[in-house]
Amino acid sequence: MNKLQDWPEPIVRVQSLSDSGIPIIPERYVKPILQRPSVNSTASNDVNIPVIDLARLYGDDHALRATILDQISIACREWGFFQVINHGVSPQLMDRAREVWRQFFHSPMEVKQAYANTPKTYEGYGSRLGVEKGAILDWSDYYFLHYLPLPLKDYNKWPAITADCRAVLDEYGKQLVELCGKLMKVLSINLGLGEEQLQNAFGGENIGACLRVNFYPKCPQPDLTLGLSSHSDPGGMTLLLPDSHVPGLQVRKDGNWITVKPVPHAFIVNIGDQIQVLSNATCKSVEHRVMVNSSEERLSLAFFYNPRSDIPIEPLKELVAPDRPPLYPAMTFDEYRLFIRMRGPCGKSQVESLKSPR
């Protein structure tokens, strides 16, 4: 179970397949009919995940602050997803971080291959999630790196394709850790807890933070595959910086797939499985997936804010009652992450399979 030393098959870079001009995608990327992007999919202009302005969250207007808290509470309970604007992260930094990564994925293959990853840590340049031999694959490549805890942070594993590359990525991580900390206080208050309680359940300041940059090349048959299969995020909270021009993220809502329409310089926030467990399912981690298209590539930056990896995560005692027993057993994030990495993206089945018998 823990011998994740190498991939079960030779790795094929999806970007290389796309650049080769093939008219038909290999069978390894063709999804079963019910998992294809046209099924229960909607791109209605009238539906989008909530957009929440954080500008007055820490001001003196208590009524306005209460309104923002309520908006986030409703989004966490009903959607599991929302966008935040006026969040305090520099728009110029967001743009530069996205550009640095686009430059990386358009570097020569030998440059990228120097950072090739293994399933032992996933850190570096990769093209598959999960180690099941013969699995149906997603139409994407990615790069994964660690920010926290500091012993895992290794600049030598970060790309250095421009003079400012590592400095940009470092500052980006620092600003997103700060934003996540602010949002954790909001979630904690909305659960009826002290503002530091959710953060303390994560391990206080000793938490995990990492980045996965997703690159979705043009696809000749986008109706047959997905850039990223349906899944809920295994960690605590995700801040996604989407592509500024190309939509692709879909969120499952009431049995339908809603295409998210990103707001310029907003972050898309979504609740992960660990917060669902800690909140005893008051906050929901929600299935989402990514579509690809035939005319444009797409790039996104997913920043994961996670509990310390070796402490048990279970429903907080304040959120458990005789009429609301704990829904999940205790499990460390390390144990849960290994469980996920063995199987790859599997809808909501990962966290649901952990529910205690009733």
What percentage of the chain exceeds 90 in pLDDT? Answer: 82
Find all residues with CB under 8 Å of 357, minimum gap 6, and list them: none
For 128-156, the pLDDT digits (tens) are: 988 889 999 999 999 999 999 999 999 99
Residue range 221-247, pLDDT digits in tens? 999 999 999 999 999 999 999 998 999
Phi, psi of 355, rounded to the nearest 5 degrees: -60, 140
pLDDT at 350 over 50: yes
Query: What integer pLDDT is reported at residue 42 of this predicted model?
Result: 65
Instruction: From residue 55, give the alpha-carbon distance in Å to each of 68, 72, 85, 165, 305.
Output: 10, 13, 8, 29, 22
Q: Where are the alpha helices (DSSP H) in 79-153?
A: 91-105, 109-113
Confidence band (pLDDT; 50, 70, 90) for 1?
A: very low
Q: What is the DSSP string of 153-168?
A: --GGGS--SSTTHHHH
What is the Cα gyration radius of the chain? 20
* Residue 2: per-residue pLDDT: 46
Do residues 246 and 262 make contact, with C-beta atoms less than 8 angstroms apart? no
Position 38 scores a pLDDT of 80
Lowest mean pLDDT among 5-14, 42-51, 319-328: 42-51
The pLDDT of residue 356 is 58
Pair 248, 295: CB distance under 8 Å: no
Place 337 in a pLDDT band, splitting at 50, 70 and 90.
confident
d(CA 97, CA 168): 6
